[in-house]
């Protein structure tokens, strides 16, 4: 399995090689100004990838795979957009976002590209902040690459729907990646209903990344993960809309576990059906 993380030194060496990776800049508000930040400066050779325009379909308000704030993109539309950005099947990819929390856009890119069947995608640990902090060069010119030929093969990563998430919460381990106050239903700044999926555990972003945005080492992550999943045969993640949950899925993968299934619609899709149960308060 390809290590899902790459550090600044490794990326700098790869970019100086005869066959450099394709780098996607996936910075997105509120962590940065997105495309404007890219135009101001970016990793040399990086292509801007708009998270919401490319890596998600239009927000949906009905139960099902098109529900939630960031549903799966249409495979044909995704393929066209990725080809326009120069993606080819045999070209390694590195993705990065701002790096300092809030993070998640680059992990969403990692997950969607892997779901689409790309075999070699890595995330720059610490993101653009780490690149800048090490004094690495940047450029301002918008990068345009020859059209690619990547073929999207959807389903290459495990996906959960609402029924699957509910079942996994009962029989396996379903991990909620939101902050504790949202998990407990005490606050909900983004969705109209507060709470969580009954039976879920909580593995918030702060438990998997450090203050500088870098992932915690595997040796530090594994006890946290093990405490939540125990001997469960199947593991899944969810959050508000499938962005932070992808970051948690990557962290679990980087810690040496099998990549968990992702409930892409997450809480924003769960609450579209009033018949689905809602839990609040501390986990039991």
Catalytic residue among 87, 123, 239, 254: 239
| Cα angle 54-166-235, degrees, rounded to a multiple of 5 | 70
Longest dimension (CA), the chain: 56
Architecture of domain 5-133: 3-Layer(aba) Sandwich (3.40)
What is the Cα–Cα distance from 18 to 103, expressed in whole angstroms? 31
What class, spelled out in words, does domain 159-270 have in CATH?
Answer: alpha beta
Can you give the pTM of this predicted structure? 0.95
What is the Cα–Cα distance from 98 to 104, expressed in whole angstroms? 9
> How do the pLDDT tens digits run along the chain, 284 residues long?
578 999 999 999 999 999 999 999 999 987 788 899 999 999 999 999 999 999 999 997 666 666 799 999 999 999 999 999 999 988 999 999 999 777 789 999 999 999 999 999 999 999 999 999 999 999 999 999 999 999 999 999 999 999 999 999 999 999 999 999 999 999 999 999 999 999 999 999 999 999 888 999 999 999 999 999 999 999 999 999 999 999 999 999 999 999 999 999 999 999 999 999 999 999 87
Both structure tokens of 243: 């962005």
What is the Cα–Cα distance from 181 to 187, expressed in whole angstroms? 6
Both structure tokens of 259: 């990549």
Helix %, strand %, coil % for the chain, to 5?
A: 30, 15, 55
pLDDT at position 104, please?
85
Find the Cα–Cα–Cα–Cα dihedral 180, 72, 57, 43, rounded to 10°: 80
What is the Cα–Cα distance from 204 to 244, expressed in whole angstroms? 9
Helix (H) or strand (E) holding 202: strand 201-202
What is the Cα–Cα distance from 106 to 95, expressed in whole angstroms? 6
Do the domains spanning 5-133 and 159-270 agree at the CATH topology level? yes
* Catalytic residue check, 115: no
What is the Cα–Cα distance from 39 to 179, expressed in whole angstroms? 32
What are the boundaries of each domain within the chain?
Answer: 5-133, 159-270
């Amino acid at each position: 399995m390809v290590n899902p993380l790459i550090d600044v030194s490794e990326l700098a060496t790869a970019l100086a090689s005869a066959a450099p990776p394709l780098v996607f800049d996936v910075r997105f508000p509120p962590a940065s100004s997105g495309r404007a930040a890219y135009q101001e400066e970016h990793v040399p050779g990086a292509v801007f990838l708009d998270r919401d325009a490319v890596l998600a379909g239009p927000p949906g308000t009905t139960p099902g795979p098109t529900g939630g704030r960031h549903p799966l993109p249409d495979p044909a539309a995704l393929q066209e957009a990725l080809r326009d950005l120069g993606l080819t099947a045999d070209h390694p990819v590195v993705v990065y976002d701002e790096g300092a929390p809030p993070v998640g856009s680059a992990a969403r890119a990692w997950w969607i590209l892997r779901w689409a069947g790309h075999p070699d995608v890595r995330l720059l640990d610490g993101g653009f902040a780490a690149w800048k902090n090490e004094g690495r060069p940047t450029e301002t010119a918008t990068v345009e690459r020859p059209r690619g030929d990547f073929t999207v093969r959807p389903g290459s990563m495990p996906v959960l729907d609402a029924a699957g998430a509910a079942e996994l919460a009962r029989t396996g381990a379903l991990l909620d990646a939101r902050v504790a106050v949202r998990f407990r239903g005490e606050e909900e700044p983004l969705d109209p209903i507060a709470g969580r999926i009954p039976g879920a555990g909580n593995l918030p972003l702060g438990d998997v990344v450090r203050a500088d945005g870098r992932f915690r080492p595997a040796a530090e992550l594994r006890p946290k993960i093990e405490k939540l999943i125990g001997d469960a045969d199947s593991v899944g993640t969810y959050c508000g809309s499938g962005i932070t949950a992808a970051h948690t899925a990557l962290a679990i993968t980087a810690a040496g576990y099998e990549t968990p299934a992702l409930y892409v619609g997450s809480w924003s899709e769960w609450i579209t059906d009033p018949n689905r149960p809602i839990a609040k308060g501390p986990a039991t």
